[in-house]
Amino acid sequence: MKLLIFAGSTRQHSFNRKLARVAAQLAQDSGAEVTHIELADFDIPMYNADLEARGTPADVMRLKQLMYEHPAWIICSPEYNASYSALLKNTIDWASSPVKSDPDWTDEFKFSRGKVVGILSASPGALGGLRSQSHLAPLLLNVQCWVAPRNFALGHAGDAFDAQGQLVNDAHRKNVQAVIDQVLFAAQRLAA
């Protein structure tokens, strides 16, 4: 099963980027074909319909294709002001915008329809970014994703990782693994 993993942050020492790396390794160890991307590697401007009218940026097209090719996703969502990041919203806004000049991409939900998505989050606070998850799930449902009921919010993330970026607590690893397992299970059943 092809699994796409990314974090909604580009901050150098982002807890969610660390969590995405942990999830990618656990998923690979589970036998998934993992593509772990960093949104910082994509040159995607803030969404603007006037800019889009001049042509959809090449990196948006690259991201749309990657998302389309993976039936399963794991998103690690930071929490900013009790919601998900502007970066994550902008990414989904661009990906969901139809490309009128390209007949393969006139369907706004081609990139997302039927994808099984697991949501993880990490935060220095006690709730671990749980509020960002509660806002992100409806957005994903709106773009016709299947959102896995199992999620995990890693609280007190400043103490959760060792110097190598691995989770210190075995229970945390098991919770991340449980989300991965559910996403892979559901994606395999939907693909059958």
User: Residue ranges per domain, the chain?
Assistant: 2-191
Instruction: Give the burial class of 52: count Cβ atoms within 10 A of its Cβ; 0-12 exposed, 13-18 middle, 19 or more buried.
Output: middle
Task: Tell me the C-alpha distance between 123 and 95, whole Å.
Answer: 26
Mean pLDDT in residue range 74-93? 97
Mean pLDDT in residue range 53-63? 96
Q: Quote the pLDDT of residue 192.
A: 78
Task: Tell me the C-alpha distance between 84 and 132, whole Å.
Answer: 5
Residue 93 has pLDDT above 90, yes or no: yes
Q: Quote the pLDDT of residue 104.
A: 94
Per the CB < 8 A criterion, the answer to whether 82 and 37 are in contact is: no
Q: What is the mean pLDDT of the chain?
A: 97
pLDDT band at 191 (very low <50, low <70, confident <90, very high): confident
pLDDT tens, residue by residue, 106-122: 999 999 999 999 999 99
Q: Quote the pLDDT of residue 189.
A: 96
Residue 32 has pLDDT above 90, yes or no: yes
34 by DSSP, 3-state: which? strand
Mean pLDDT in residue range 9-15? 96
Which of 37-48 are b and which e, b meaning 16 or more Cβ less than 10 Å from the residue's Cβ? Answer: bebeebebeebe
CATH code linked to domain 2-191: 3.40.50.360
pLDDT tens, residue by residue, 157-186: 999 999 999 999 999 999 999 999 999 999
Cα 46–chain centre separation? 18
Q: Quote the pLDDT of residue 102.
A: 93
